[in-house]
Structure 1
Amino acid sequence: MTQMDLAFMYAPTGLALTENRIVRQCNLRFAEMFGAEVDSFRDMPLERLYPSLKDYEKVAHVGGDILRETGRYEDERIMRRLDGDMFWCRVRGTSLTPDDPFRQGVWSFADLSAERPVVELTPRERDVAILTCQGKTSKEIGLTLGLSYRTVEAHRARLLQKFGARKLPELVAKFSGMPI
């Protein structure tokens, strides 16, 4: 193994080389994070590591536009290990072919589950959580979602309970993964 091969294989963050959203090569940390041996991921569609087909397609739509413009993309999202467990992951990537952004890429994956556990939310709770993080009031959220502000407050109360937060600023900090 060359020094470059060793650096790739033993990097402290998960790394994957992809072609058309298929893993062609990954390192030890990537394999450990997603729960199998390195060779298990060769030629695996990335779709298998997303919670759903909808999530996979959404990232392609949003990320593809940004990759075409800048050649780079990053976000934090929920990913799925091969055993089905969900976890928060910071994903950063560079397209080697920005005109065809997913043809070839280099991606890094960092497991955030220690700082940000996955909490099951209903679709409506997720909507309220996102708008809360955008600084919207209960009345503004109600107008946006077609709900009464009291219903929004009920959703927020459930979110506070699910996340073990006492007040909205603490809840927002937990959503964003910031230390409290």
Structure 2
Amino acid sequence: MSTVPGFTLADMPVPMVFATHRIIRDCNDEFAALFGYQRAEVVDTSFSRLYPAIADFVRTGDMWRHHLPGGAVYHDERIMAGAGGKRFWCRVNGRARDASDPFAAALYCFEPMSRPVSDTTYRLTGRQRQIMTLVAQGKTNAAIAAELDLSQRTIEAHRLRLARSAGVANAAELVAWFLSQPAGSD
């Protein structure tokens, strides 16, 4: 296994993975188990197999490429898919080594979240889930727009459509609706 000064990934008590160009090069058993696999089944495979759809894989890659400069830590929350298609929310923290190519070598920590994947939230578009996640993190429209490289008006329009479809009046109610959705039929 790859080593971290004094430790290997196998020693880490949380799901961790080392990747180059979005290919899993090494991981610990906790990471593989989170997705319902054995370690040997995921090493040297693309992260794309762990997403519900290829569009989610592409969108996440674009977001991380813009926000993961070398040495900095970046995180997001997203829906992932394990063996058999089981979907779950996960918080991902990562650090890239190369500022000019954040995917050349990166270390990621995956943390499963207790937030259910409901049929309602899964039917949101990938962009809507992305914006809703950032709203739930307490980010402003301006901060979300900057993070996603979109205009503030675009974010406002997405949030308005989300609020209308959920039948809520403000951001606090929208976040409460999002976090309270009953689990889907996974």
The structure number with the bigger radius of gyration is: 1
Q: How does 1:1-180 map to 2 (within 5 A)?
A: 4-5=7-8, 8-68=9-69, 71-112=72-113, 115-121=114-120, 122-123=123-124, 127=128, 130=132, 144=157, 153=164, 155-157=165-167, 169=172, 172-173=175-176, 175=178
Deviation at 1:68? 2.9
Query: Aligned partner of 1:156: which letter?
Result: A
The answer as to whether partners of 1:116 and 1:174 remain within 8 angstroms in 2 is: no
Please state whether the residue corresponding to 1:83 is helix, strand or coil.
Answer: helix
- 1:89 and 1:36 map into 2 onto residues whose CA distance is 16
Deviates more, 1:94-103 or 1:84-93: 94-103
The answer as to whether partners of 2:166 and 2:177 remain within 8 angstroms in 1 is: no
Query: Cα RMSD between the aligned structures?
Result: 3.6
Q: Structure 1: which 5+ residue stretches go unaligned?
A: 161-166
Aligned length: 156
Question: CA distance change for structure 1 residues 41 and 70 in 2, over 3 Å: closer, same or farther?
Answer: same
Question: CA distance change for structure 1 residues 69 and 42 in 2, over 3 Å: closer, same or farther?
Answer: closer
In the superposition, the TM-score normalised over structure 1's length comes to 0.70
Per-residue displacement from partner, 1:135-178 (whole Å, max 9, x unpaired)? 89xxx99x936x9x9x964x224xx8xxxxxx98465136358x
Deviation at 1:132? 7.9
- 2:140 and 2:98 map into 1 onto residues whose CA distance is 37
Identity among equivalent positions (%) equals: 30
Q: Structure 2: which 5+ residue stretches go unaligned?
A: 142-152, 181-186
